[in-house]
Structure 1
Amino acid sequence: MPVVPIGLCAACRHQKLIRSGRGSEFSMCLKHREDPAFPKYPRLPVQACPGFARRGEDDAGRG
């Protein structure tokens, strides 16, 4: 399966990687929980996002 670059999501604190039972991975945007204008599963690669917040050291284990 080809690897899709996830753009900004890779460095965003709102991103969570979801792995299916078959081993596929999906990038979920947790920002959609507080604002329905954000897609739950954004189309990749994301190159611009008004909700982008850089993941800090506190978020390193998240996802």
Structure 2
Amino acid sequence: MSDKIYKVVLLGKIADGYDIEIAHEKLALIFDIDLKKITKLLKKPIIIRSELTYDVAVRYQT
């Protein structure tokens, strides 16, 4: 077992093969914020979770 601590960072990039509008809608639902704020949120990397174990952090990986 590792004592390393991880953080989850939203890089602001939409993965290939995903529709940008659908991705924005899903992010708005996940973060419970207005759809208009998603564009601003995706302009730069942002830490969305920190101080996680590897097992928890890897669940966020796409």
TM norm structure 2:
0.31
The structure where helix makes up a greater share of residues is: 2
Looking at CA atoms only, which structure, 1 or 2, has the larger radius of gyration? 2
